[in-house]
Amino acid sequence: MKTFTKKCMSIMACSLLFVAFCFGNDLQKNQNDGTSPKYVFLFIGDGMSYPQFQSAADFLGACEDKDYMQAEPSVPYEKRNGAVLDGPKNLSFMNFNSAGSAITYDSCSFAPDSASTATSIATGYKTYSGMINVDITGTKKFETIAEKLHKQKNWKVGIISSVNLNHATPAAFYAHQASRNNYYEIGEELIASNFEYFAGGGLKKINGSNNDKENLYEKAKKSGYKVTFTQSEAEKITSKDGKVILIDENLADSDAMEYEIDRMQNQWGLSDYVKKGIEVLYNENGFFMMCEGGKIDWACHANDAASSIKDTIALSDAVQVAIDFAKNHPSETLIIVTGDHETGGLSIGFAGTDYDTYLTVLNNQKISFSKFDEEYISKYKENKTSFKNAMKDVEDLFGLKMKGSSDDCLLLTDYEIELLEDAYKLSIKSYDSKKYSQEQNLLYGTYNPFSVTITHILNNKAGIDFTSYSHTGLPVAVFANGIGENLFNGYYDNTDIYNKMAQLLNIK
Ligand SMILES: [Zn+2]
């Protein structure tokens, strides 16, 4: 028995030595022969897990597949005339060489928030929901990967988000706050970071919560930042302008960039800010760029599947810009695409449509729930518009019809019309979601009853559904392409996204 234990011990010691040797060798390799990237892109789809990118890929596949409906399971095989499903059309990052999964729980929840999960990705530590780069006591600060690369390697750093630049996910790369709602303090830390490039949605609470503090943009200018607010100014920015903050010209809800579904063709989208970022950050030392698709989350909170799909495609287009960059720098670039958590409990499949999906019906949606609230429902209230007249807009903007041929899948059933009419009546009154019945809570969450009922019905007609208005505990995918990509294969904790990056980049 004793000899056996001894043998085991010596085998273990040998294995450990072997592992240490290999690991040491790897690090050596990284430092010496170009196996460590010097241009690193980290894309985070907020609220983007498997259902979000897979529904987008399935939607794109269905749109290009002429006999997709003919191939549905409910069509008897003799009547399919050989029609087959062509399958999904992968988003850019779904074709990456390496893919893994990361679990997302934080120090207080299996359904965590963006502050704690982005903290894990940026620093390798878990904390409570709502906290940014501090421990659970709110006192000990964690240094982020972006700060370390900036300091230790003299890399340039860029932070892009389609939502507010002092919102939780972007903040997790430069700020340290016990509450994600300390927007002003986060804005001050943004300025103090000295990172070279910030771009996307406007800052929140620019004068503090009590409106009594110095304007954050003015403060940024005093600290040497060039701040722009129009697209034409942003277009002119070059690397010679030094540190820059580019605020999108067409801010929408809560001063975030517009939903992709609402964006005009000539308006800059996420991919344009990545292009400009590369122009500003490119240098011989290296750069780190974090780009967040923040409105995938917002759309999924509101259970607006079409808007989620379009924003996920916008993130894919932004990743494509990095892929094109990597083609010219193949031995120096690493691109990582992940999510921070899942939002909405989105599923491909719905209780009312069995095994069938009708994803192309989402093409009928022309506007985000948010723009519909702002531009239409507010007028219905003002003008005391009748339900029938409001439904004319609903047909134009979402395709849902009160009348039509019985085989039109967009024709509303009596049950659906009843749901819409109840929701409409509530919408044009002044409703208080805190006083909702249990039924109303489940039906509407905290969203406008009419718009959320419209998107629910359209989603369900497409054969997809949501189970929540909040985040869920699904794991997220981690796609990687370029130098060190293999490290990201496997099933691991979200703190390991940081650990793997740190190992690869030789940072302390
Ligand atoms: Zn969220």
Handedness of CA 357, 363, 365, 368 (dihedral sign): positive
CA 499 to ligand 1 centroid distance, Å: 24
What is the whole-number distance in angstroms between the Cα of residue 295 and the centre of ligand 1? 9
> Residue 1's pLDDT band (boundaries 50, 70, 90)?
very low
10-27: average pLDDT = 40
Give 296 Cα–ligand 1 centroid separation in angstroms.
9
341 Cα–ligand 1 center, Å: 8
Report the separation in Å between the CA atom of 236 and the middle of ligand 1, taken as the mean of its atom positions: 34
Structural element, H or E, at residue 498 = helix 495-505
Check: CB of residue 431 under 8 Å from CB of residue 324: no
- Phi/psi at 338 (nearest 5 deg)? -145, -175
CA of 45 to the centre of ligand 1 (A): 11
Q: Which residues contact 275 (CB under 8 A, 6 or more apart)?
A: 321
Under DSSP, is residue 28 helix (H, G, I), strand (E, B) or coil?
Answer: helix
Q: Print burial letters for 363-399: b (CB count within 10 Å at least 16), e (below 16).
A: ebbebbbbbbbbebbeebeeeebebeebbebbbebbb
Residue 431's pLDDT band (boundaries 50, 70, 90)? confident
* Helix, strand, coil abundance in the chain, percent, nearest 5: 45, 15, 40
- Beta-strand ranges (E) seen in 236-299 are 244-247, 287-293
Residue 168 CA to residue 116 CA, distance in Å, equals 9
Scanning 172-256, the segments in alpha helix (DSSP H) are 183-193, 216-222, 231-236
Distance 31 CA to ligand 1 centre (A): 38
Q: How many angstroms does the Cα of residue 112 sit away from the middle of ligand 1?
A: 9
What angle, 0 to 180 degrees and rounded to 10, lies between the N-to-C axes of helices 305-328 and 270-281?
A: 30
- Select from 140, 178, 174 the least CA-distant residue to 159: 174
- d(CA 317, ligand 1 centre) in Å: 22
Question: Residue 135 has what pLDDT?
Answer: 98
- Distance from the alpha carbon of residue 208 to the mean position of ligand 1, in angstroms: 23
Alpha carbon of 35 to ligand 1 centroid (Å): 36
CA–centroid distance, 169 to ligand 1, in Å, is 10
* Residue 430: predicted pLDDT: 80
Q: Is the pLDDT of residue 4 over 50?
A: no
- Quote the pTM value: 0.93
Q: Decide: helix, strand or coil at residue 396.
A: helix
Report the separation in Å between the CA atom of 297 and the middle of ligand 1, taken as the mean of its atom positions: 5
Ligand 1 geometric centre to CA of 470 (Å): 7
Taking the mean position of all CA atoms in its chain, how far away is CA 212? 32
Rounded Cα distance, 450 and 381, in Å: 12
Given a cut of 70, whether residue 148 has pLDDT beyond it is: yes
- Taking the centre of ligand 1 as the mean of its atom positions, its distance from the CA of residue 180, in whole angstroms, is 12
Average confidence (pLDDT) over 147-166: 98
For residues 316 and 313, give the distance between their C-alpha atoms in angstroms, rounded to a whole number: 5
